[in-house]
Structure 1
Amino acid sequence: MSKQVKCRNVYIGGGAPISIQSMTNVDSRNEEALLAQINQLTKAGCDIVRIAIPDMESAWTLQKIRSQVEIPLVADIHFDYRLAIAAMEAGADKIRINPGNIGSRDRIKAVVDAARERNIPIRIGVNSGSLEKDILDKNGGVTAEGLAESALRNVQIIEDMGYDHLVVSLKSSDVLMNYKAHKLVAEKTEHPLHIGITEAGTLKRGKVKSAIGIGSLLLEGIGDTMRVSLTADPVEEVYYAQEILEAAGCRTPKVDLVSCPTCGRTKVELQALTEEVERRLSAADIRPGLKVAVMGCVVNGPGEAKEADFGVAGGTGKGVIFSKGEIVKTVEEKDIVDELMNAIEGK
């Protein structure tokens, strides 16, 4: 089990639930736009929000925002160590740096000392585009081994300064390389890991790469906090991160809705039926983890879906409502959704 750090009111590592992160993409100097996006992300279920701090004006805006929201805020810093210190003075709950681009040891130590004074975690972030020249030369380019070596080297820099309130992040847009690099690092450090696939792409393609890349790590027990990186509205990152966590068994879904792919035996409009059930379930007040099955025929009905709490199997203009494999009633096709929801809600 990894060590545990605290980012404001969110614990990372040490057996804590895997937290979801996203990053604002509006101008960090625009207080109104920044506050609006942070509130949208919070409402969507984001646990930690990261903000780029490219200049001092952004740090001052962070200070104004900090008093208006409760969610932990992470300052994303590159190159200028003074921005890291200013962000912490402004109230950042965590900072993200790559020690390799911050500068001299004295500058890194100034950042570490400021973090130590406030007892806030430092996320050490490396990716395939920021590897040190000697590592690139040794490995003949970007490799999983190189990513792991860079991450561990930068961890060692901070540890040698007597600070271990750390989160480690190493990301690649190459799914297999990302997986191998995380496996290597997880074997050699107890610091919590921030996982994700960097520059995953558009909403359509990025979802697939993230599902494979993040999901494979979660199934290995690797990952304490995560971000799905999409070229899209950051809110979509949060929604899809929740889906990945649910699919990997790391969070209890509100509803586990299963449905068959249809075949020649299907005599009802199953796609429309399933979509309507999904819509009604999302708005219903039901216990978390409820399993509901929408099946096209009796072959895939109570039999294959007998573990479902509630379900329906289609017939010729009719549907069979069942619970835990036992048939409850037979209803007309037009009444299937209403009768299924009545059964679920105990009406």
Structure 2
Amino acid sequence: MDTFSPQLATTQPAPRAMSRRRLVASLCAMPALGGIALAQSNWPTRPVRLLLGQPAGSGSDPMARGLAPHLSAAFGQPFVIENMPGAGGTAAAAAVARADDEHTLGIVLGGPTTTAKAMNPNLSYDPATAFRSISLLNRSSFVLTVHAGSFSPGARFADVIDQARAQPGRLSYASIGPGTVTHLAMEELKATLNLDIVHVPYRGFPQASLDLAAGRCQLMFNVAAAAAEHIAAGRLVGIAQTGATRTSFLPDIPTLQELKVPSAPFFGWSGMIAPASFPEAMARRLATVIRSALATDPAARGGLDRSGSEVLGTDPEELQRLQETEARRWNAVIARLGLRATE
């Protein structure tokens, strides 16, 4: 027979009362939580726009088009690619930043989400607060390429630098827009090596590479995918790579570090973003689908893995960390050199 305990009789009701309060609070919260879960599970409710700040066929466009069928299959709505080149990719990024429909995403190449405000204080959005990161898609070192006919046969990095110093203001370099790494890295190199080379901005790598191959400009920090065919044909010469080590895709081209240029390794990259108001849970679901597609389907990689690019597909945090690191590095260059979007 159990023994009655006055102490237990006086202390047991408190936990029961607390349990009832928690139960009531939980029941009150359930409709709101259920609504959030339902909204997320039903997303998207119409076609999703995927905006790219590059021309069709360039940069991350092939990857975007390879990923679109996977995203459509996973989420039950079309993912429609819209190319919005120009202004170094900030036109497309601005459209993403101001979207409030939860059905507009973007794929960017660095500058629009890192350096754009430093380059243009009047920019309509703040890269530090306007976006939610979704996934880092790929990364690749740049190749400093030069027009073969503008330099002596067999010219190497030192020869190109010597000629540039001997002809101040007569050579020009291409970029894919002010504030992009292709612009900032060359301005940093010019300042480091005391060079006077004119900046000619383009809307994307294809046209810039074509004009470089034709001799309408003489130098460019290029992506291997855009430069490889011209290098193979002898129209362009690769004289330096920007990664920490040589890539297997271009094993004969030395790195800037090997050439004793005081510059930390740097890369080109692309990432998928959404407006800042886009729910975190949706971003994570997208990142999971992207990672699976890139790991299993060569078509989703858009051929970038065959042209010297490291195909990734990360979680949102990795893209966010990269953007913060890139912003610190390149915004310091912008401030030190006094650069603006009109450069």
TM-score range, shorter chain: under 0.3
Question: TM-score of the superposition, structure 2-length normalised?
Answer: 0.23
Larger radius of gyration: 2
Question: Which structure's relative contact order is higher, taking Cα pairs within 8 Å and 6+ residues apart?
Answer: 2
Question: TM-score of the superposition, structure 1-length normalised?
Answer: 0.23
